Amino acid sequence: MSFLSRSFERHFNERPFLNHACYLFLTKTTKNRNRQQSNFSTLCRGHIIPKEVRDKDTARKFLEATEQFERIMNESGFIRLSRLTDEEIIGTAETPGLIEKYFSLSLSDTTVLEDIDLKADQMRIGDKRLCLHTLSDTEDLPGLVGTDMRYERLSTDRSDCRLSFAAPIGLLLSCNHIYNQYVLIDDSAENLQRFEKSARNMHSLSRYSRSNQINKQWIDEYLNEAHSFGLTSVRCHCNVLAWSEDEEELRRIRNDVGSQLALMECKPRHNTVDVPTLFWAGIPGNEADFPAEESFYTFIEQAVCFFNEETNYRDSLSPFGIKMADRSGKPIHLDISDLPMKQGITTNRNKFILGPSGSGKSFFTNHLLRQYWEQNTHIVLVDTGNSYQGLCEMIRHKTQGEDGVYFTYSDETPISFNPFYTPDKVFDVEKRESIKTLLLTLWKRENEPATRSEEVALSNAVSLFIERIKTDDGLVPSFNSFYEYLTTDYSALLREKKVREKDFDLANFLNVLEPYYKGGEYDYLLNSDKQLDLLNARFIVFEIDSIKDHPILFPITTIIIMELFINKMRRLKGIRKVILIEEAWKAIASANMAGYIKYLYKTVRKFFGEAVVVTQEVDDIISSDIVKESIINNSDCKILLDQRKYMNKFDQIQALLGLTDKERGQILSINQSNDATRSYKEVWIGLGGVQSAVYATEVSKAEYLTYTTEETEKMRVLARAERLSGNMELAVRQLAEEE
């Protein structure tokens, strides 16, 4: 494990989080037991299992119905049910089962059974003191329920963040608790007949009390709904069982539960009398002991609105991925490349990243690429702004200069390449074509196309020189030696073949390219004496901010970059390749590079590659056809950061990226309700329009110092590294410990 990965794990070590597990119990009971009240219990019977349920035919029909229910739920694709085994329910000699865990109020596999203490005012399990809130009367319920509700803390005036109706007493209730929801399915026709009779009685007694007439009207309304829409009459009950070992904390928890129930517009009812009875009924498989007087009548549709529909973010079941955090601060393993393709959610690994300045784009991409590199990915970066300098320096020192190659331009150290150097003297078709394209770019203007004869002559010159490189070990391949070859051997060959000047003007070619030969203005550009093995270097950064508007340096650099990545793409079989283009993509997507961008985005998938484009301006998306047609359409993974700056023009972004209203709500909720005790920024990741979620880029202090783009912080880190002989890791470690 690397220094930064270890720092990440130490940052989250022993951080508490609210874990969630969901169990669905389908319990077959009898008509009599379904009506029993809290003054009766299974403990009072001679036989626990009723005679009717012991009937084999009854049991078979129930199991068939259960299997059908499981199949329907799983085929929906929204919920995955897995049947519990006997060992998972009752446990083994070594591990506790679900029943034991329930009795000790713990999901841990190291559960220890504790004494249960029943008192008039409180129930205790070991040192845990229990408090119970119930929803068992229609008077405690809101006038209207729904499948979802607007969560104000993450909503804006232009977007809704929707959570399930019961979300406030799920993961949003930050204490140890169990949320029980009961739906008791009786004979619906019999229930309705009983209500018909009750309505008649109320009507008969209405002259004695106005409340009887009002109750009669409510019952009629219930019956009308049932008959008009064919609804099934059921009974329902919900309760929240919370606990704590500290009396003072329990008082706070009791208030929190009441507040969360109030958010659902329910009347909080703290139940102190029925805690043992409802705890007993909540034992897995013992729901038939539920006291009938604690339930209220409703329909199935309304009853399931009280179900909790949220859970913790899940780790990706994949060996590849990145470490992020969910919105509550729990670290997770996330695969946004391979697993979505295997599951058919996406068809490519390309990514499109949009976020305004200061939203944390470069910070997130640093975090992403660092973890990709640690998993043996080859990465080519095109950057403007030195965003990856710290990470590159750390990699360079860690690999003792074999990796972490940083190309940048300054007057003191101008950018330089050697297009004719390969460590293994292998020049495939792409390599030859890129050299030819490079020479044509230097020779001809953009609006001055080369003739067929000129292309052939130049192609022959490149091929013959490459053959010379392969056979002559004393030859130092560079543009200088190529230029000298043209003036001598190739010039003689053209005279011998009697090639006319109008077909290929060698003198003109040499004259135009003379500035790149030794002694010329740009003699440094194509004559690098550093024999860099870029094919096998896994982290290469091209910092092009100072040359992106240069008419000569920039086109040459882009050709070198593209040739390098295509070479990696085709020659490195079975190895992941990533090219990430920061804001520089605007310059790269010029007319002469448009074809390459389109080719790259459509074919990189076939070579186990990913193309990633990062931009901050909405107008860039709207104004560029290349972005709209090639990049966005071929990027199944879309990553957006804080968009509050563009809230008023987000309709355009939504239309261009094909976002749903749910995804819009998620994106505009970014950083709306951040935890002030943690330092992080949120990011939205959408996969193929099927899966999407908001994550937190929360890192350790060491990672922060490595990724930071704040100039004062970066200069401090680089200065410390310089004092330590370039040891970036040690510099980061020291500064992190000092703060």
Task: Summarize pLDDT for 631-640 with one digit per residue, the tens.
Answer: 888 899 999 9
- What 3 state SS string does 45-70 have? CCCCCCCCCCCHHHHHHHHHHHHHHH
Both structure tokens of 563: 């040739």
Sequence-distant (6+) residues with CB within 8 A of 283 are 99, 102, 103, 289
What pLDDT, on a 0 to 100 scale, did the predictor assign at position 622? 67
Q: Is the pLDDT of residue 123 over 80?
A: yes
Q: Residues 466-479: what's their mean pLDDT?
A: 90
Q: Residues 327-339: what's their mean pLDDT?
A: 96
Q: Residues 428-437: what's their mean pLDDT?
A: 85
Confidence bin at 608 (pLDDT 50/70/90): very high
High-pLDDT (> 70) share of the chain, %:
95
Rounded to whole angstroms, how far apart are CA atoms 353 and 641?
8
Q: Residues 71-82: what's their mean pLDDT?
A: 90
Q: Which tens digits make up the pLDDT trace of 336-351?
A: 999 999 999 999 999 9
What pLDDT, on a 0 to 100 scale, did the predictor assign at position 629? 74
Q: Is the pLDDT of residue 661 over 80?
A: yes
Backbone torsion region of residue 195, taken as left when φ is above 0, otherwise alpha when ψ lies between -120 and 50, otherwise beta: alpha
What pLDDT, on a 0 to 100 scale, did the predictor assign at position 43? 61
689-692 long-range contacts (CB < 8 A, ≥24 apart) are 689/658, 689/660, 689/663, 690/345, 691/340, 691/345, 692/662, 692/663, 692/666
Q: Which tens digits make up the pLDDT trace of 152-198?
A: 999 988 888 999 999 999 999 999 999 999 999 988 888 888 888 88
Cα separations (Å) of 86 from 51, 217, 249, 431?
22, 49, 36, 63
Q: Among the listed ranges 301-315, 400-414, 444-458, 559-573, which one has the minimum average pLDDT value?
A: 444-458
Q: Which tens digits make up the pLDDT trace of 565-592?
A: 988 998 899 999 999 988 766 666 666 5
Which residues are paired to 149 by β-bridges?
163
Rounded to whole angstroms, how far apart are CA atoms 580 and 126?
56
Rounded to whole angstroms, how far apart are CA atoms 2 and 476?
39
Where does residue 617 rank: exposed (0-12), middle (13-18), buried (19+ CB within 10 A)?
middle
Q: Among the listed ranges 44-53, 295-304, 395-404, 673-682, which one has the minimum average pLDDT value?
A: 44-53
Whether pTM > 0.85 for this model: the answer is yes
CA angle 283, 289, 294 (to 5 degrees): 105
Rounded to whole angstroms, how far apart are CA atoms 516 and 523?
4
**Do residues 137 and 267 touch, judged by C-beta distance below 8 A?**
no
Q: Residues 349-372: what's their mean pLDDT?
A: 93
Q: Is the pLDDT of residue 240 over 90?
A: yes
Confidence bin at 370 (pLDDT 50/70/90): very high
Confidence bin at 36 (pLDDT 50/70/90): low
Residue type at 194 in one-letter notation: R
**Do residues 136 and 295 touch, judged by C-beta distance below 8 A?**
yes
Q: Is the pLDDT of residue 89 over 70?
A: yes
What pLDDT, on a 0 to 100 scale, did the predictor assign at position 110? 75
Backbone torsion region of residue 91, taken as left when φ is above 0, otherwise alpha when ψ lies between -120 and 50, otherwise beta: left
